[in-house]
Amino acid sequence: MIDLHTHTLWSDGELIPAEHIRRAFMKGYEAIAITDHADASNIDMLCRQIVQFSDAMARAESDITVLPGVELTHVMPEEIAELTQYARAHGAKIVVVHGETIVEPVRPGTNCAAIEAKVDILAHPGLILPEEAELAAKNGVYLEITSKSGHSLSNGHVAKTALAAGASLVIDTDSHRPGDFIDEAFAEKVLIGCGLTPMEIDRVFENSRQIVKRKLSGG
């Protein structure tokens, strides 16, 4: 299992990073990104902390790959490009944007701004428009299928719209607590529930593997 959208107590998660990744490893994870909620007020602190932690894990030859990241959350759409550049310049390998989920009052225009900024993953993008999915395909932005309660209500729409536009999908958990972690078998069930075929499901898992491989090689 590879999960590129998770949270620790550096934002609103329950666990310190060390326990967070240990719980993930015991669930069968091979790689995880820590992507705590960020805006202009805390992005500098988060980048320093997660880069330091992930570097320590790499030096210790941890049994799970840890990628440093942030999730830009409830920021003004016009801030997204600048904050994305800042995060990457300060060591974040995965930049996620908190998309226009149907269960939170996310500012309209967030999905489009994230895609235009060429973030890595647009999380739980809600009722994403076909033209936004088409731009995601062009800009190499991955659209997220999620196992997270509430956010997952629009999974079917996201999958259908992404596939029609040729956009790439990933599956993440948006984990905030130990019970949010899932294994690959459960992730497959979530993807089946979206109407994906076995070949399309394999592609979703491969997308995550390729992201990790590319980020570890400096891409």
Which among 66, 188, 208, 65 has a CA at the least distance from the CA of 144? 208
Helix (H, G, I), strand (E, B) or coil at 185: helix
Q: Residue 7 contacts by C-beta under 8 Å, 6 or more apart in sequence? A: 13, 34, 35, 36, 37, 71, 174, 175, 176
- Spatial contact of 193 and 154, defined as CB atoms under 8 Å apart: no
pLDDT reported for residue 40:
97
Which whole-number Å values give the CA distances from 178 to 2, 36, 46, 52, 150, in the listed order? 15, 15, 21, 23, 18
What 8-state DSSP symbol labels residue 148?
S
Ramachandran angles phi, psi of 38, nearest 5°: -135, 145
Burial class (CB in 10 A: 0-12, 13-18, 19+), 205: middle
Which whole-number Å values give the CA distances from 45 to 77, 118, 127, in the listed order? 21, 23, 32
pLDDT reported for residue 8:
97
pLDDT reported for residue 26:
94
User: Could you give all domains of the chain from N- to C-terminal order, each with its CATH number?
Assistant: 2-216 (3.20.20.140)
* Per-residue model confidence as pLDDT tens for the chain (219 residues): 999 999 999 999 999 999 999 999 999 999 999 999 999 999 999 999 999 999 998 888 788 999 999 999 999 999 999 999 999 999 999 999 999 999 999 999 999 999 999 999 999 999 999 999 999 999 999 999 999 999 999 999 999 999 999 999 999 999 999 999 999 999 999 999 999 999 999 999 999 999 999 999 987
pLDDT reported for residue 213:
97
Angle 128-131-135 from CA coordinates, rounded to 5°:
95
pLDDT reported for residue 219:
78
- CA 182 from centre of chain: 15
